[in-house]
Amino acid sequence: MIEAQHLLIVDDDDRIRDLLKKYLGRQGYKMTVAADAKAARKLFQTFSFDLAILDIMMPGEDGLSLLSALRQDGNQTPVLLLTARGNASDRIEGLKLGADDYLPKPFEPEELSLRVAAILRRTHMPEPPGEVEMSGLVFDVKRGVLTGPEGAIRLTDGELQLLTLMAQQPGEAFSREGLAEQTSNGSERSIDVQVTRLRKKIEPDPKNPIHLQTVRGIGYRLMPD
C-alpha cells in the first residue's frame, strides 16, 4: 500500500486552512495545519513533511522568515508560497530563499492541487518500477511490453506512451493537460479517448475501472495490484 504524502498548511486564515485541508485531503494527502509560524516550527520538529504550503502575510513571523529559518537549519522540505497578487518582490525573495513555487491569492483549489502534484513529482521521484501488475496482466515499463495469460497485448503508440508515463509513478494523479503535454496525444480530449481504449485492454470491467482510475477534478492515475 502506498503511504499518503504528508502536507503542512501554514496560514492564519481559518477559511483557507479548512478549505485546503478538506480539498487536498480528498486528493489522498495526509494533512496537518498550523495558524502561524510558531506553531509550524513545533510541527517541523516533530514531523517530516513532503511539502509545506506557507502564507507569506501572517501576523508575527511571516512566511518568508519561516522559510529562511528552515533553509538555514538545513530543512529542505519543498515549499509552495501563497502570495498577495501583484507583489512581485515577495515572490522573488521567496524563490531566492529556496521556495519551489508560488501562487497568488485568491486562487482556485484545483490549480493549487496541480502545483502541489507538480512539485511532489519533481522533488520525490521514486525509482520507477520495472514491472507493473494489473489483474493478471504484466507491463514491463522499460521494454514497453504488456502481456497477459495469452501472450503480448498490442498497444498503439498513444496507449503505450500514456501507460508508460503513468506506470513510472503508480498511484500519482496526472492532470489531463499534463498528460497531453507529455505525450503525443495532443489534447485533453485525445487523452480521454486513449484512456477509454486502454481501459478496454487492461481492466477486468472497463466500465468500472480499478487500475486506470479517474481522479475527480484532476485527471487520471494508474493503480497496480
Domain stops at, among 123, 139, 164 = 123
Query: How far apart (Å, rounded) are the C-alpha atoms in residues 222 and 151?
Result: 22
**Structural domain includes residue 185:** yes
Question: Would you give per-residue pLDDT tens digits along the chain (225 residues)?
Answer: 457 899 999 999 999 999 999 999 999 999 999 999 999 999 999 999 999 999 999 999 999 999 999 999 999 999 999 988 677 888 889 999 999 999 999 999 999 999 999 999 888 766 667 899 999 999 999 899 999 999 999 999 999 999 999 998 889 899 988 898 888 877 888 999 999 999 999 999 999 999 999 998 889 999 999
**Structural domain includes residue 25:** yes
Q: Does residue 136 share a domain with residue 115? A: no
- The x, y and z cell numbers of residue 71, run together, are 533553509
| pTM confidence score | 0.58
Give the HSE-up count for residue 206: Cα atoms under 13 Å, Cβ half-sphere. Answer: 9
For the chain, what is the domain count?
2
Domain stops at, among 106, 123, 140 = 123
At residue 172, the pLDDT reads 87
Q: Does residue 112 share a domain with residue 13? A: yes
> Domain range holding 104?
6-123
At residue 122, the pLDDT reads 86
**Structural domain includes residue 108:** yes
**Structural domain includes residue 1:** no
Q: What is the CATH number of the domain that holds 81?
A: 3.40.50.2300
At residue 154, the pLDDT reads 95
At residue 127, the pLDDT reads 67
At residue 184, the pLDDT reads 82
Q: Give counts: helices (H), strands (E), the chain.
A: 8, 12
Q: What phi and psi, each to the nearest 5 degrees, are found at residue 18? A: -65, -40
Cα–Cα distances in angstroms (integers) from residue 34 to residues 31, 54, 98, 151, 156, in the given order:
10, 10, 21, 53, 48
Q: Does residue 39 share a domain with residue 118? A: yes
Q: Does residue 37 share a domain with residue 82? A: yes
Q: What is the CATH number of the domain that holds 196?
A: 1.10.10.10
